[in-house]
Amino acid sequence: MSDINNIHRIKHLTIEGGINEFDLDVLRLFTKYERFPVTLDLSKATFLRNYINPYESFGYTPPKVEFDGLMMADNYIPSQMFYFAQGLVKCILPENTIGIGSRAFYSTSLTRIDIPASVVQIDEHAFRGNYSLKEINIDKSSRLEELNLTALSTSKPVKAIYLPSTITHGSPNTNSLVIKTNKLYLDKTEIPEWRVSGIRSTPSMSLTRS
């Protein structure tokens, strides 16, 4: 049996320690195919911005890197990390994640995603194209500061979105947000001056602060 077939026998994978640019192609291949659904637990992992071959001392030379995303910084989910990863049904993000890159989870098979409190930035189209995604859960103690205009834009409305008071703006140079949700919860004492668009029907909007 080939190595690739062995990889796709794995249904649940837990990774601990560093994940660098050397590993990204393997992760994308592992989660690529819808017929091989997989759960990734990255809670104890860390994305590191470097390209070091950990197997060089064993004489292993990696193939040409195919990954075309961008790892912006340590602890940042690279842009296009799981782009069209249709085998990815669940992903637990690293506890120390500070940002989620553009199109990082574009067109996956995720049904829910939990955003750690440590995340301060989410870039454009991070969750676009996900027809199965029903929940985007932002931690109530979130330190989230910056949401791109389309950071939380999904293909279908999710159950609810919670936006913490730490958000300073919806997108650079604009106060717009494109969100598809049935309920919108704001950790604000009053409705912020955000233009929320992209929703076919007006969501229920609640204030969580008294």
AA identity, residue 8: H
Regarding pTM above 0.75, the answer is yes
The predicted-structure confidence for 3-16, as pLDDT tens digits, reads as follows 556 777 889 999 99
Count Cβ neighbours within 10 Å for each residue of 50-72 and write b for 16 or more, e otherwise: eeeeeeeeeeeeeeeeebebebb
The predicted-structure confidence for 43-96, as pLDDT tens digits, reads as follows 999 999 876 666 677 776 666 656 666 778 899 999 999 999 999 999 999 999
**Angstrom distance (rounded) from CA 150 to CA 127:** 9
Number of structural domains (the chain) is 1
The residue among 65 and 127 whose pLDDT is bigger is: 127
CATH value at residue 154: 3.80.10
Q: What is the pLDDT of residue 53?
A: 67
Q: Distances in Å between the alpha carbon of 77 and those of 18, 21, 45, 48, 192?
A: 13, 11, 11, 10, 28
Q: Tell me, yes or no, whether 127 lies in a domain.
A: yes
The predicted-structure confidence for 88-117, as pLDDT tens digits, reads as follows 999 999 999 999 999 999 999 999 999 999
Q: Tell me, yes or no, whether 52 lies in a domain.
A: no
AA identity, residue 149: L
In terms of residue numbers, what domain contains 206?
68-87+96-210
